[in-house]
Amino acid sequence: MDNYIRLKDTVKHWGLKTGDRIMISSDVKRLLYDCATHGDDTDMNVLIDGIIDLIGPDGTILIPTFNWDFCKGKTFDYYKTPCKTGSIGKAALKRKDFRRTKHPIYSFAIWGKDRDAICAVDHKSSFGADSPFTYCREQNVKNYFIDVECQHSFTFVHYVEEQVGIPYRYLKDFTAPYIDENGVESVRTYSMNVRDLDKDIFVTIYPFEEDFKAAGAARRFQINDIDYKVVEMGKVYPIIAEDAAHNRSRKICEYTGQML
């Protein structure tokens, strides 16, 4: 590639602005391979630092650090339970300028102006009204996707489902040991809106991409032949909510039973 853009400079092409609030969803395997091929940095902290430089102290970054072991009865340790959603989340958890939210299943590493306010909330439901997803909705957080499609990584859809109420999921409690940020161990119960396996239903999430674009809430771009996408979560909420509530276009799911 003749015009290779180095990792530290890629974020300059994201369209970021001072004070932006963003979430990063990613699969960076191809990105890291491309960096290594060009003798470039492969440290995701370079990318994170570049974002921080652009959005400044009034901005906020949310990076998924999800781990589903709590659902299997395994201990959640605030500092030791690993991120299972990618290298950027793993890098963020090692940084002193990021803090982790409290939920043992759907946690986030947070940096920036709103970090402490987000991390102070101890919400029981993964996708509840008091979860970070409401912050994403109210603040119109920009969800950046690095080389991954919404169908596999747009977790915000599940938040919308819980808020509008849908017949093919229900709140299920999970109880397991929990070690908090002060090292105190207890047994806690958290919940997640899970799919009802007894329903005659096939659930799949589609990207709604044309609807999002028509609303001026999404765009795609490429850097070094790597695919990127950004979706403004506050703007797309009503689009997803309308569809989830009535399943009119079947973009949320294929449901062969009686919709409520």
Question: What contacts 134, CB < 8 A, 6 or more positions away?
Answer: 128, 159
pLDDT band at 169 (very low <50, low <70, confident <90, very high): confident
pLDDT the model gives residue 166: 83
* DSSP per position, 151-163: HHH-THHHHHHHH
Query: In angstroms, rounded to a whole number, what is the distance separating the alpha carbons of residues 156 and 170?
Result: 17
Give the percent of the chain with pLDDT over 70. Answer: 90
pTM confidence score = 0.92
pLDDT at 203 over 80: no
168 membership: H or E segment, kind and range: none
Q: Do the beta carbons of residue 15 and residue 133 sit within 8 Å? A: no
Per-residue pLDDT, averaged over 171-194, amounts to 97
Digit-coded pLDDT (tens) for 45-58: 999 999 999 999 99
Q: Quickly state the pLDDT bin for 196 (edges 50, 70, 90).
A: confident
Question: What average pLDDT does the segment 16-20 reach?
Answer: 98
Residue appearing with tokens 């915000």: 156
- Check residue 256 and give its pLDDT: 43
Mean pLDDT of the chain: 91
- Judged against a pLDDT cut of 60, whether residue 182 lies above it is answered with yes
213-233 pLDDT per residue, tens: 999 999 999 999 999 999 999
Q: Does residue 240 surpass a pLDDT of 60?
A: yes
Q: Where are the alpha helices (DSSP H) in 98-251?
A: 115-119, 132-138, 150-153, 156-164, 209-214, 233-246
The pLDDT of residue 259 is 34
Overall average pLDDT of the 72-86 stretch: 97
User: What CA–CA distance (Å, rounded) separates 112 from 54?
Assistant: 12
Q: CB pairs under 8 A, 24+ apart, for 217-226?
A: 221/13, 223/5, 223/10, 223/13, 224/1, 224/4, 224/5, 224/10, 224/34, 225/1, 225/34, 226/30, 226/31, 226/34, 226/146, 226/147
Count of all residues that appear for the chain in the document: 260
Domains of the chain: which residue ranges? 7-255
